[in-house]
Amino acid sequence: MEFPVFFWAALGWMMFWGVLGSIATRYVYLHKDLDTSSTRLLGSMMGAATGPIGLVPLWIKTPEITTRLIIFATLGTLGVFMTAFALADPGNLCVTNGSFVASQISNGVIIGIIYGFMALGLTLIFSILGVVSFAHGEFYMIGGMVTYFMTTVLFPEVTPIVGIAAACILTFMLGALFERLFLTPMYDGRVDRPVEYGILITFGLAFTLQYFVQATVGANPVKAKRFFDFPRLRLPSAEDPWLIKTSRGNMELFETISISNPRFTAAVMCILVFIALMYFLRHTWTGKALRAVSQDRQAAAIAGINPDRMNMLAFALGSMIAALAGAMLVQAFSWLPQVGAIPALRSFVIVVLGGLGSIPGAFLGGIIVGLVEAAGTGCIPDPQKAASYIPAYGMIVLTLTLLLRPTGLLGRKFASGTHGKF
């Protein structure tokens, strides 16, 4: 059905006050000689949520901007937006069907964890090498492809862990090899513009890998079989399962939320690997060295760490993380050589949203993007359009982030530098 004018009018109203709030609040704080670093975000959210009702007191009292205040205003904006949506389209599933909403939200969070995990690889590469890898999506694709061939075509009897491990090892080695062959000139001034070189060379790698895979396996979609089946569960009792009910491919919680097996196992796997990775980064010498290099390259070098080796490790590890995300999701989605483009773009969005270089930021960003996509695909009335617009949801998040909080939610501040003004 068509959206009534009401919705667009409400959106226009919110945008007007949001824009006005972000500009004017900054101006007011600047002229009262106060900290202006969060004024854009707070001003726009306050404006969008309350219009002049909240903005005018804000300008008069100019309170110190706390995280709590920002969260408050943001929630207010979300609330107003959802109310406008509900009033505009009262028959929508997202408005009428509570269990649908609960399912969308939990599936959004679950897929968001996997997105965040994949973005983590990108953040790792960026914080060590200062490169945004444009081949991240292709490593994701290869991870899935290798796993598919191992688990479904070549060795269907063997446990899928072997297939996943093979994908990890292969992409790790591929990443390390690429870094040695093509990224080393960036570090010692052999290329004029290292950042642009990094973009182009990884772009070239993406292109090569994508068509190499297409040339070898063809362009037909494939899909791996489910890795693990759920055990049959009926809790609290077989007759009246209101807590958990599982079939082999699906799980139902509280008789409302339905979660498919592949996504669930993928998310669990990602969390396990994430914990292992955190252990590696915090408690092993190599991991600590990696973190040291990401914080201060020169100091780390003086302390006896070879930053060159860390570059190789970071690129290989980051690429492997992307591949692992692909290996997990190949059982959930059908797989093509082109399948990496959208997840790659999404990872960039998440990394910028979370803050370049921030690990918790990657997960937070992943979950937010997962939720936004779930809302977009679930609530836009025409489902075919809703699916086609998937890349757009992330871009809206990206645009808002860059406009309102360029350092990302939890990002370190890049006062200046080659990667952007931020």
Q: Which residues of the chain form contacts with other proteins (CB under 8 A)?
A: 30-31, 33-37, 132, 134, 181-182, 185, 191-193, 195-197, 199-201, 203-209, 211-212, 214-215, 219, 338, 341-342, 345, 348-349, 352, 384-385, 388-392, 394-395, 398-399, 402, 406, 413, 415, 418-422
Q: How far is the CB of 209 from other proteins (least distance, A)?
A: 8
Min dist. Cβ of residue 347 to other proteins (A): 10
Least distance CB 169 / other proteins (angstroms): 23
Q: 185, 197 in Cβ contact below 8 A?
A: yes
Distance between start and end Cα atoms, the chain: 42
Q: How far is the CB of 51 from other proteins (least distance, A)?
A: 25
CA 120 to mean position of chain CA atoms: 8
Q: Are 321 and 119 in contact (CB under 8 A)?
A: no
Look-up of token digits 């110190």:
64
* Rounded Cα distance, 53 and 223, in Å: 53
- Kindly state the smallest distance separating residue 212's Cβ from other proteins, in Å: 5
Q: Tokens for 179? A: 């870094």
Q: What minimum distance in Å lies between the beta carbon of 357 and other proteins?
A: 13
In which residue are the tokens 């796993």 written? 147
Q: How far apart are CA 115 and CA 295, in angstroms?
A: 25
Q: CB-wise, 235 or 392, nearer to other proteins? A: 392
Let me know: does 402 contact 346? Beta carbons within 8 Å: no
The residue among 84 and 380 lying less far from other proteins, judged by its C-beta, is 380
**In the complex with other proteins, which residue's Cβ is closer, 244 or 390?**
390
- Rounded to whole angstroms, the Cα distance separating 87 from 389 reads 23
Give dist(CA 82, CA 70) in Å, integer. 18
Closer CB to other proteins, residue 36 or residue 256? 36
Shortest distance (Å) from residue 402 CB to other proteins: 7
CB of 386 to other proteins, least distance (A): 9
The answer to whether the CB of 300 falls within 8 A of the CB of 293 is yes
CB of 34 to other proteins, least distance (A): 8
Closer by beta carbon to other proteins, 34 or else 235: 34
- Comparing CB distances to other proteins, the nearer of 273 and 353 is 353
| DSSP for residue 2 | P
Query: What phi-psi label fits residue 218: left (phi over 0), alpha (psi between -120 and 50 degrees) or beta?
Result: left
Identify which of residues 245 and 346 has a Cβ nearer to other proteins in the complex. 346
Residue (214 or 286) nearer to other proteins, CB: 214
39-50 and 5-31 helices, crossing angle to 10°: 140
Tell how many helices (H) and how many strands (E) occur in the chain: 17, 4
Nearest CA among 157, 160, 147, 204 for reference residue 178: 204
Would you say 281 or 300 has its CB closer to other proteins?
300
Distances from the Cα of 246 to the Cαs of 228, 263, 317, in angstroms?
Answer: 13, 14, 35
